[in-house]
A and B are shown apart, each in its own frame.
Chain A
């Protein structure tokens, strides 16, 4: 597969199954969890890799992993599933038809919800049949099935669906099995069109009679059950992969929830990808009982080694594809001067803390005490070396170049890593001839990284300034502006902390909010920060063991703008709502409360 820029971001649809297999790294992901027959919500920021995960599970991609050998695919011992991609936007399941019908009181709500459920069922089953009949290999398999049984299956399903006798097709006609299934799929499509025509007539205030049928999970369950018998795969399950789930409107969300609540996992389960911040009403379904959850952003932050390994593998594969032989760590070089200085500081601090340990404990050390000494020294060296590096650089701008640095800057979002590197490659291309690029220079890396940080804040500034220009969006403008001020203030503040030699933990990166819910405006700003990706949200448990606090870490992409440490996972500043109010007003974090920095553990939800 030809790639011009090895770090080009591709949407899954742009990749053939073969290209997908070349580029996708399945290690260090949640594939094992997703391959279990359970309903899942996969949540993550834009670019975190949700679509790629779902596409891995999709049938044609899976078949490619088995070298298009259907027998091998069927004979696998575990992971027996057919992944059916039902893209919410492409399948028009993001329609606002049902919302408009409800909002304008054009029909009864129960009826609208029934029709919406039918639309969803028909869309899923249409895509199921198309997945099988469009694939050349599977088509061949289907055409070898018993003809009588196939005809009987189609007849039975149509009879079961078409209570109103709308459709007439003679399945005993002379044609291939796959054509019969295609015909059945077309009937499902016609059912969806009936809904549309009904809605169109209703919108035009005409007398509208819905002449389509109805179906729901009962029909789908029976269909899938019988289909599995037909194709001789009763041991397989169907995974309905709903990408772009955040596009679904409320009525469609409710229908999807109803599917999830059925828990017919031997026949089918739903795996739905939604963007972080999506409002999805899960009132009628329960986490753990009805569905499981993967939060990609959270998981990567908790398991940064996993992310690091994944990114490294992805990057090296991409370099290989364009015949760049360098390892990614050599391709994205870090500053040798800073590395030297870092090592120097590390030695100095090691010596210092060893002396400190001896002077504190002043005795000959046995093995156990040696371990304790090494813990003492290593803890401090790890904590303070980086901070000291920032201090010694003084007015020299910190270099954020280097693979490991860029991994940190990407904040657990793969696309962010690829975007930064893609921009770097483009800039380097202009300086050198493409086929001579063996590494990205320090200046290029740092220039791109700084711009990437500044652009992020410029977008926010542009947003609030646009909204300010219009009188009835002033409230919205204020929220964006306050967020801007808050981020700028935090950036400057984190820098002050980093430069403070007296602090036990100078590399502060996160603030926790002790009292959320006391000021709706502040809550909205912080939530906006999370939804727009300026903050990453975590739960922290207090050291005393009482309660959990909401923590908001900077998107590391911002760090170069303020010259702060992007590698830290330790330390946070506890703030109250009143502090945030004061910050937004004055543009500065109030110092009146003094520093209160703790090292409490980060926990997942």
Chain B
């Protein structure tokens, strides 16, 4: 099992995922099936001896009938038939507009399957690869606050590369439940933007919030080879179009623990003059980093998390291949 704070990275070809504790089956395996091929990457890399009591697959209602999602679901079914990884298998339909639904549904399943394990505790393997961020954050909050969770192992499949575009346009911004931060902003507004590839949403968020300062988190080194180049282009474009006072920090995008540390430092430095929104548009590992930074200050939250929802996703060609798998424990 991964020690807490240590990240293991293995190349896709070499990866062989076993249970959290050797010889002991996991209690819950949780994953999200989306339109990306890598959304079933972790499942396909499970050792044939891998076992968990319950396998739970989350599918976004909006995408459920899309051919790539159906295809991935079929691959999951085939794998499950072949290897009998789970005693129970469930599928949940969820929606970005109702991020609490996922918690309610998981809670029912936990009560069904692990009522008698409350005293000894359960272990969870969570494949975060394809989870939408607005649902991932409340989900992790929920799991971390369950009193009978002994450990959560996080798995993440990073792609070989991304499509020409990931998402387009901007619909609205949302603050995920549990991440509202301080009940009131007393100071000027700041925005810490952990950039990804999408200019539209970044600029729309700046226009919406009208922050007095924008701090741009440049993802370094990124989880795949072309990540940094693409991200730099977006940062340049942002700097050219807006005269908002902005600073750039390099954010470790492949290490949530270091990412957490840097977010905390930035917020601490700036919090004298600004109340912050933090938006993670970079890697999923940065989302974890943001979660950890938020959790560390839970008693007196220092920032709000905000996420801009796009108009459209590139469901046909979002990403391809799997370069490596990341594994760590919370």
Contact = CB atoms under 8 A, between A and B. Distances in A.
Interface of A: 5, 8, 11, 13-14, 87, 89-92, 95-97, 100, 103-104, 106, 123, 126-127, 130, 189, 192-193, 196, 199-200, 203-205, 462-463, 465-467, 469-473, 476
B295 to A, nearest CB: 13
B36 to A, nearest CB: 14
B62 A196 contact: no
B220 interface: no
Nearest to A126: B184
A13 B188 contact: yes
Interface in B16-69: 62-63, 66
A14 B184 contact: no
B210 A13 contact: yes
**Top 5 nearest A-B pairs by Cβ distance?**
A466-B168, A11-B210, A90-B185, A470-B312, A205-B107
A193 B103 contact: no
Contacts of B200: 462
Nearest to B187: A13
Contacts of B104: 104, 205
Contacts of B180: 92, 95, 196
B91 interface: no
Nearest to A51: B210
7 contacts: A193-B183, A205-B103, A462-B200, A465-B168, A466-B312, A467-B169, A472-B63
Contacts of A193: 183
B258 interface: no
Contacts of B75: none
Contacts of B314: 469-470
A126 B178 CA distance: 22
Given A13-B188, A471-B315, A473-B311, A104 B98 contact: yes
A92 B184 contact: yes
B219 to A, nearest CB: 23
B243 interface: yes
Interface string B84-127: 00000000000000111101100100000000000000000000
B271 interface: no
A472 B243 contact: no
B103 A204 contact: yes
Contacts of A96: 174-175, 177
B168 A100 contact: no
Interface in B152-184: 168-169, 174-175, 177-178, 180, 183-184
B177 A91 contact: no
Contact of B184 (A13, A90, A471): A90
Nearest to B314: A469
B224 interface: no
B311 A100 contact: no
Nearest to A204: B142
B196 interface: no
Contacts of A205: 103-104, 107
Contacts of A463: 168-169, 311
B138 interface: yes
B83 interface: no
Contacts of B145: 204
Contacts of B142: 203-204
B184 A466 contact: no
Contacts of B175: 95-96
A126 B186 CA distance: 11
A100 B100 contact: yes
A478 to B, nearest CB: 13
Contacts of B210: 11, 13
A547 to B, nearest CB: 37
B70 interface: no
A463 B184 CA distance: 34
Interface string B189-223: 10000000000100000000110100000000000
Contacts of B5: none
B244 to A, nearest CB: 9
B297 interface: no
B320 interface: no
Nearest to B143: A204
Given A103-B98, A205-B107, A189 B183 contact: yes
Contacts of A471: 66, 315
A189 B185 CA distance: 12
A466 B103 CA distance: 31
Contacts of A123: 184
Contacts of B100: 100, 103-104, 106, 203
A462 B209 CA distance: 23
A5 B175 CA distance: 34
Given A466-B312, A470-B313, A473-B311, 16 more contacts: A14-B212, A89-B209, A92-B180, A92-B183, A95-B175, A96-B174, A200-B177, A203-B178, A204-B107, A462-B168, A462-B169, A463-B169, A467-B169, A470-B315, A471-B315, A472-B62
Among A96, A130, A193, max chain B CB count under 10 A is at A96
Given A92-B180, A203-B100, A466 B169 contact: yes
A199 B180 CA distance: 12
Contacts of B107: 204-205
B183 A203 contact: no
Contacts of B212: 11, 13-14
Contact of A100 (B177, B183, B275, B316): B177
